[in-house]
């Protein structure tokens, strides 16, 4: 047995154990911590499976931003009335456990029955890379072959923002999301918030830029930029923008908007909707990605910031 | 005109760009409305509405002239690498229905969600979400790829959930959260199945998949998971815990969207999955299970509807029953060769969906007007509303009559088609359910009308004048549903020639009387509320004769209502979800 195999077995065991622990542990806070750790370990599994793009996304969303969101929710729930939560009786829980295990068994069987080697479109995606001039096949799939899905996913993000904002109270509409954070201007948080972004912004942009030819891309880069921005907000060095801000709204639709404009350009002037002319493919895709990284960073940050709470100070 | 696995459409067809436009126009509207905000949100929506109507009409016009479905290859990349949009007869009909209902809702909502000079929360969210739902549904109707359909489902869910809690009350927030969690559970199951299918066949394109798919265990597990996820999003009994509070708590215009259109999205994907992707796989038993759940939905939805105090909840439970009705087509479409055929059963099911979309949206709008007039929607206190708000009540009544399956409504044509299919396939038991379903629908409509039309000597106090726009929008949709049976469907749906209903004649009279009378009897027997005619002497004589029956009926109703209460608790709903998934998988495995 090679070291790699031992490592994989240990990793799988720890992930499974952590998953069960996350479900079983009664305290919300512990479960959240378990879930964050779980997300980071799952990212490791993706690395072992050579899916580095997925690993980056899982670490950024499942471990990073998702973790912050869940910790915030757990902190709020700590003040809630614990008696309001009723646990179902033992019989129901046993029933649910048995049925879930059956479903899990069916899934395991289905996955074991999958053909090996798996039928895949990966070679086709690699072979068609000439159409865009980008070497990362994942970016090609996202931006060219399945561009429609990517564009619509960005609209989903926008709708999530609308959903979160619509939780505001009527008087607070148009105001700034989340509480105003106050931190000691000479404390550790403020220090980190001054230090880290200079590195984080470079890393975020690098991950985005390298996504053209290597693992990475707008989503992973955007997530890093969003976390840097949140750090600065939490340290009280800056405030969230009011949701009525026209500039903010423009940034939030920039990604899908530019995507649509380029797509319609292809419909009117080129061969098809979302088709790029060969000579302009790379600059167009990079342009869309620049707009997207801004949109993604702003969207993820605002999703975490929450609904508008404070009326705008003009 | 329906998607067929033998015809390879590897190129964009003439008119294919209409498919792109039907997605791009509403989505552009979402982005524009979001950026402009303020008082422009409604303006953007009203610019998109005529465009969307024109696109849907053009699609309807161009499809019969095309050899097969309209096809558009996005980015000019052919599947499996690229994504194709395909518009067949089903798509065209649903696109048109959605355009029609959205337009009517936009007219209805003009006053309720009037944006002020300074931007306010509810109008901003409403108009953006209305356009988003339009774009999402259009994507679902023409998406040719299972993952594109997943993205469209997400779009639909994220647009629909905030609509539930637009008024911001704690109770509606709870309903929205319930809806969100259950709908996301459904999404995960659908995505899981999609991933399995890709692992098996290396494509998610619907046409390519339909050629490659075979009765392997993993494919069946995938189908069961995806179907279960979609059923949860469609709220087929017993996966309906989120529907009553969400549909009854939302503002009237939002309820009309949610009940009329949103549940049809996931339903349409089930049709694509079962009829287009894997028509030979589900097998007889699984189709019977779907229709059995549908039957249970009809019984539970209708009986609990009769027990509701509030009109909006009654209509929400009616939606539950009508969703059940939609699933009766699955066993009836099952033919001797062991495949689901695109025949009159499919046409009947889809027509039922169209009829319900128009009628239910009209009914929710009418109830919205009634609620505004009275300040409440308690059924037993509706007396006199016929005089105060005649147009609203007329829209409600016409919508209800259309749903009962009275000729020439779309529901009546749908029922004829389904009954014909039941006769041809020898499944008489579904014919019984179809007839009973019409009576149950009649029961709660008659109950409401009896209370609303009961003579009253005191005039009731209503607030404000009736809004003519709102009444006209509701009335137009209700009339639409009532006249759908007269539309020439054969260019789009496999409706056999000669099924167009005769409006006048003995036959149509019996079709009118049978459900109404049956419904009246059911309403009297099952409804626990004091009857509006209780004071008349003939009624007393009748009542004393039927007392034991009525007592049994009420006991039955109480039992049904109690079990519905239990089934709508989280633990039971979760267990139901798991059981449905397992049962579907087991039945499909057993059939192959």
Residues A8-55 have pLDDT tens digits of 999 999 999 999 999 888 888 888 899 999 999 999 999 998 888 889
Work out the minimum CA distance from A23 to partner chain B, whole angstroms: 15
Chain A touched by B166 (CB under 8 Å): yes
Chain A touched by B195 (CB under 8 Å): no
* Secondary structure (DSSP) of B383-430: TTHHHHSHHHHHHHHHHHHHHHT-TTSHHHHHHHHHHHHHHHHT-HHH
What is residue B502's predicted lDDT score, i.e. its pLDDT? 58
What rounded mean pLDDT belongs to chain B? 89
ipTM of model: 0.94
Those residues whose C-beta lies under 8 Å from the C-beta of residue B17, and which sit 6 or more positions away, are: A267, A273, B72
Hey, are the CB atoms on A119 and B173 less than 8 Å from each other? no
Question: pLDDT-based confidence at B118, cuts 50/70/90?
Answer: confident
Rounded mean pLDDT, B424-443: 90
What percentage of residues in chain B have a pLDDT greater than 90?
A: 60
Work out the minimum CA distance from B535 to partner chain A, whole angstroms: 46
pLDDT exceeds 90 at position B167 = no
What is residue B1's predicted lDDT score, i.e. its pLDDT? 55
Encode pLDDT of B73-90 as tens digits. Answer: 998 898 889 999 999 999
| A101 in any annotated domain | no
Hey, are the CB atoms on B12 and A252 less than 8 Å from each other? no
Across the interface, of B81, B129, B139, the residue whose CB is closest to A121 is B81
Rounded mean pLDDT, B387-403: 91
Domain identity same for A166 and A54? no
Cα torsion A293, A295, A296, A297 to 10°: value is 80
Chain A touched by B575 (CB under 8 Å): yes
Residues in chain A closer than 8 A to B31 (CB atoms): 155, 158, 253, 256-257, 260
Domain identity same for A44 and A139? no
Rounded mean pLDDT, A287-304: 93
Burial class of B18 by CB neighbour count within 10 A (0 to 12, 13 to 18, 19+)? buried
At B509, is the secondary structure helix, strand, or coil?
Answer: helix
Domains in chain A: how many in total?
2
Rounded mean pLDDT, B148-161: 96
Domain identity same for A154 and A299? yes
Domain identity same for A82 and A126? no
* Residue of chain B whose Cα is closest to the Cα of A125: B81
Domain identity same for A151 and A230? yes
Residues in chain B closer than 8 A to A173 (CB atoms): 119-121, 124
Residues in chain B: 592
Encode pLDDT of B409-431 as tens digits. Answer: 889 899 989 998 898 888 899 99
Q: Is the pTM of this model over 0.90?
A: yes
pLDDT exceeds 60 at position B7 = no
| A67 in any annotated domain | yes
What percentage of residues in chain A have a pLDDT greater than 90?
A: 38
* Residue of chain A whose Cα is closest to the Cα of B150: A149
Cα torsion B223, B80, B56, A262 to 10°: value is 130
Hey, are the CB atoms on A156 and B155 less than 8 Å from each other? yes
At B526, list the tokens.
Answer: 């099952």
Encode pLDDT of A148-164 as tens digits. Answer: 999 999 999 999 999 99
Work out the minimum CA distance from B544 to partner chain A, whole angstroms: 44
pLDDT exceeds 90 at position B581 = yes
Residue-number span of the structural domain to which A213 is assigned: 121-314
| A28 in any annotated domain | yes
Hey, are the CB atoms on A272 and B75 less than 8 Å from each other? yes
| Stretch (H or E) spanning A5 | helix A3-24
Rounded mean pLDDT, B459-463: 72
At B167, list the tokens.
Answer: 């008024």
| A114 in any annotated domain | no
Hey, are the CB atoms on A260 and B155 less than 8 Å from each other? no
Work out the minimum CA distance from B376 to partner chain A, whole angstroms: 23
Chain A touched by B491 (CB under 8 Å): no
The single residue listed with the structure tokens 């620049």 is A290
| A140 in any annotated domain | yes
Chain A touched by B425 (CB under 8 Å): no
Closest CA to B195 of B252, B144, B146, B256: B146
What is residue A314's predicted lDDT score, i.e. its pLDDT? 41
Chain A touched by B51 (CB under 8 Å): no
Domain identity same for A73 and A141? no
Domain identity same for A62 and A127? no
Across B51-82, b (16+ Cβ under 10 Å) vs e yields bbeebbeebbebbeebeebbbbbbbbbbbbbb
Work out the minimum CA distance from A272 to partner chain B, whole angstroms: 5
Show me where the domains of chain B are located. Answer: 279-591
* Residue of chain A whose Cα is closest to the Cα of B570: A88
Q: Please give the C-alpha separations between residue B559 and each of A147, B299, B301, B530, in angstroms, as whole numbers.
A: 52, 12, 13, 19
pLDDT exceeds 70 at position B536 = no
Work out the minimum CA distance from B263 to partner chain A, whole angstroms: 18
Hey, are the CB atoms on B221 and A119 less than 8 Å from each other? no
| A106 in any annotated domain | no
What is residue B111's predicted lDDT score, i.e. its pLDDT? 84
What is residue B467's predicted lDDT score, i.e. its pLDDT? 82
How many interchain CB pairs under 8 A, A with B? 192
Q: Name which of A101, A137, A145, A163 to mutate to probe chain B: the one with the most chain B Cβ atoms within 10 A of its Cβ.
A: A163
Chain A touched by B118 (CB under 8 Å): yes
| A310 in any annotated domain | yes
What is residue B374's predicted lDDT score, i.e. its pLDDT? 87
Q: Please give the C-alpha separations between residue B256 and each of B186, B312, B315, B557, in angstroms, as whole numbers.
A: 22, 11, 10, 27
Rounded mean pLDDT, B508-522: 81
| A245 in any annotated domain | yes
Q: Please give the C-alpha separations between residue A37 and each of A25, A49, A73, A294, B365, in angstroms, as whole numbers.
A: 14, 19, 17, 28, 49
Chain A touched by B119 (CB under 8 Å): yes
At A309, is the secondary structure helix, strand, or coil?
Answer: strand
Across the interface, of B120, B151, B574, the residue whose CB is closest to A152 is B151
Q: Which is higher by pLDDT, A223 or A81?
A: A223
Q: Could you give the CA distance from residue A264 to residue B25 in angstroms, rounded to a whole number? A: 10
Residues in chain B closer than 8 A to A257 (CB atoms): 31, 35
Work out the minimum CA distance from B125 to partner chain A, whole angstroms: 6
Domain identity same for A254 and A137? yes
Residues in chain A closer than 8 A to B17 (CB atoms): 267, 273
pLDDT exceeds 80 at position A266 = yes
Hey, are the CB atoms on B24 and A260 less than 8 Å from each other? yes
Domain identity same for A80 and A134? no
Encode pLDDT of B298-343 as tens digits. Answer: 999 999 999 998 999 999 999 999 999 999 999 998 887 778 887 8
Domain identity same for A138 and A69? no
Encode pLDDT of B285-306 as tens digits. Answer: 999 999 999 999 999 999 999 9
Across the interface, of B30, B125, B571, the residue whose CB is closest to A166 is B125
Ranking B32-46, B313-327, B494-508 by mean pLDDT, the lowest is B494-508
pLDDT exceeds 80 at position A96 = yes
Hey, are the CB atoms on A149 and B216 less than 8 Å from each other? no
Hey, are the CB atoms on A162 and B222 less than 8 Å from each other? no
Residues in chain B closer than 8 A to A275 (CB atoms): 75-77
Q: Could you give the CA distance from residue A27 to residue A25 in angstroms, rounded to a whole number? A: 6
Hey, are the CB atoms on B155 and A158 less than 8 Å from each other? no
Cα torsion B458, B460, B464, B467 to 10°: value is -100
């Amino acid at each position: 047995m090679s070291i790699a195999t031992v490592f994989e077995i240990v990793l799988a065991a720890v992930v499974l154990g952590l998953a069960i622990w996350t479900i079983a542990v009664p305290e919300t806070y512990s479960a959240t911590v378990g879930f964050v750790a779980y997300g980071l370990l799952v990212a490791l599994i993706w690395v072992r499976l050579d899916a580095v793009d997925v690993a980056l996304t899982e670490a950024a969303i499942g471990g990073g931003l998702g973790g912050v969101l869940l910790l915030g929710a757990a902190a709020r729930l700590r003040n809630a009335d614990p008696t309001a939560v009723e646990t179902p009786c033992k019989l129901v829980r046993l029933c649910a456990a048995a049925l879930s295990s059956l479903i899990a068994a069916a899934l395991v069987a289905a996955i074991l029955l999958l053909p090996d080697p798996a039928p895949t479109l990966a070679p086709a995606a690699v072979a068609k890379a000439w159409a865009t001039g980008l070497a990362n096949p994942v970016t090609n799939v996202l931006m060219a072959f399945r561009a429609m899905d990517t564009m619509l996913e960005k609209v989903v993000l926008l709708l999530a923002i609308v959903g979160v904002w619509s939780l505001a109270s009527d008087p607070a509409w148009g105001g700034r999301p989340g509480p105003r954070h106050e931190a000691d201007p000479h404390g550790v948080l403020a220090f980190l918030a001054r230090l880290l972004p200079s590195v984080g912004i470079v890393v975020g942009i690098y991950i985005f830029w390298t996504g053209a030819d290597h693992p990475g891309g707008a989503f992973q880069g955007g997530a890093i930029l969003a976390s840097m921005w949140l750090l600065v907000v939490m340290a009280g060095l800056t405030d969230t923008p009011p949701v009525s801000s026209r500039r903010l709204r423009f940034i939030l639709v920039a990604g899908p908007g530019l995507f649509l404009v380029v797509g319609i350009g292809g419909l009117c002037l080129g061969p098809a909707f979302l088709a790029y002319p060969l000579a302009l493919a790379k600059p167009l895709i990079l342009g869309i990605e620049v707009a997207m990284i801004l949109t993604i960073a702003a969207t993820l940050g605002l999703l975490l910031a929450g609904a508008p709470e404070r009326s705008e100070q003009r | 005109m329906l998607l067929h696995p033998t015809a390879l459409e590897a190129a964009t067809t003439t008119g294919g760009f209409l498919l792109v436009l039907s997605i791009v126009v509403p989505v552009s509207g979402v982005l524009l409305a979001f950026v402009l905000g303020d008082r422009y949100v409604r303006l953007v929506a009203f610019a998109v509405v005529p465009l969307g109507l024109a696109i849907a009409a053009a699609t309807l016009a161009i499809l019969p002239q095309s050899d097969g479905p309209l096809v558009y290859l996005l980015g000019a990349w052919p599947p499996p690498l690229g994504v194709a949009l395909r518009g067949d007869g089903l798509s065209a009909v649903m696109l048109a229905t959605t355009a029609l209902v959205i337009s009517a809702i936009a007219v209805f909502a003009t006053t309720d969600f009037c944006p002020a000079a300074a931007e306010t929360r509810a109008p901003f969210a409403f108009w953006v979400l209305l356009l988003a739902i339009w774009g999402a549904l259009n994507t679902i109707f023409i998406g040719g790829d299972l993952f594109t359909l997943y993205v469209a489902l997400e779009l639909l869910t994220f647009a629909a959930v905030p609509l539930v809690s637009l008024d911001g009350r704690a109770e509606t927030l709870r309903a929205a959260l319930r809806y969100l969690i259950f709908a996301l559970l459904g999404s995960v199951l659908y995505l899981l199945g999609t991933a399995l299918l890709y692992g098996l066949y290396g494509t998610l394109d619907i046409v390519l998949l339909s050629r490659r798919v075979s009765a392997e265990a993993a494919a069946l597990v995938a189908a069961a998971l995806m179907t279960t996820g979609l059923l949860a999003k469609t709220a087929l009994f017993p996966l309906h815990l989120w529907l009553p509070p969400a549909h009854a708590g939302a503002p009237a215009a939002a309820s009309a969207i949610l009940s009329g259109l949103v549940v049809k999205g996931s339903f349409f994907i089930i049709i694509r999955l079962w009829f287009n992707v894997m028509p030979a796989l589900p097998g007889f038993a699984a189709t019977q299970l779907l229709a059995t759940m549908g039957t249970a939905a009809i019984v539970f939805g209708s009986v609990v509807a009769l027990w509701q105090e509030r009109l909006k909840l009654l209509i929400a439970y009616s939606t539950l029953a009508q969703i059940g009705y939609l699933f009766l087509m699955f066993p009836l479409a099952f033919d001797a060769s062991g495949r689901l055929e695109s025949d009159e059963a499919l046409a009947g099911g889809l027509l039922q969906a169209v009829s319900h979309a128009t009628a239910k949206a009209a009914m929710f709008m009418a109830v919205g007007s009634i609620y505004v007039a009275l300040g409440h929607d308690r059924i037993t206190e509706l007396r006199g509303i016929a005089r105060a708000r005649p147009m609203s009540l007329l829209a409600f009544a016409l919508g209800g009559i259309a749903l009962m399956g009275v000729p020439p409504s779309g529901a009546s044509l749908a029922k004829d088609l389904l009954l014909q299919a039941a006769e041809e396939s020898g499944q008489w038991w579904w014919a019984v359910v179809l007839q009973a379903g019409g009576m149950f629908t009649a029961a709660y409509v008659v109950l409401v009308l009896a209370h609303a039309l009961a003579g009253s000597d005191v005039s009731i106090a209503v607030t404000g004048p009736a809004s003519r726009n709102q009444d006209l929008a509701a009335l137009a949709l209700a009339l639409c549903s009532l006249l759908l049976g007269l539309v020439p469907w054969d260019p789009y749906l496999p409706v056999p020639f000669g099924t167009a209903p005769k409006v006048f004649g003995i036959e149509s009279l019996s079709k009118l009387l049978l459900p109404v009378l049956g419904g009246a009897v059911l309403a009297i027997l099952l409804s626990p509320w004091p009857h509006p005619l209780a004071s008349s002497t003939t009624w007393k004589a009748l009542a004393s004769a039927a007392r034991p029956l009525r007592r049994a009926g009420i006991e039955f109703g109480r039992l049904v209502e109690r079990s519905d209460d239990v089934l709508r608790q989280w633990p039971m709903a979760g267990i139901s979800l798991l059981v449905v998934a397992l049962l579907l998988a087991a039945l499909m495995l057993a059939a192959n």
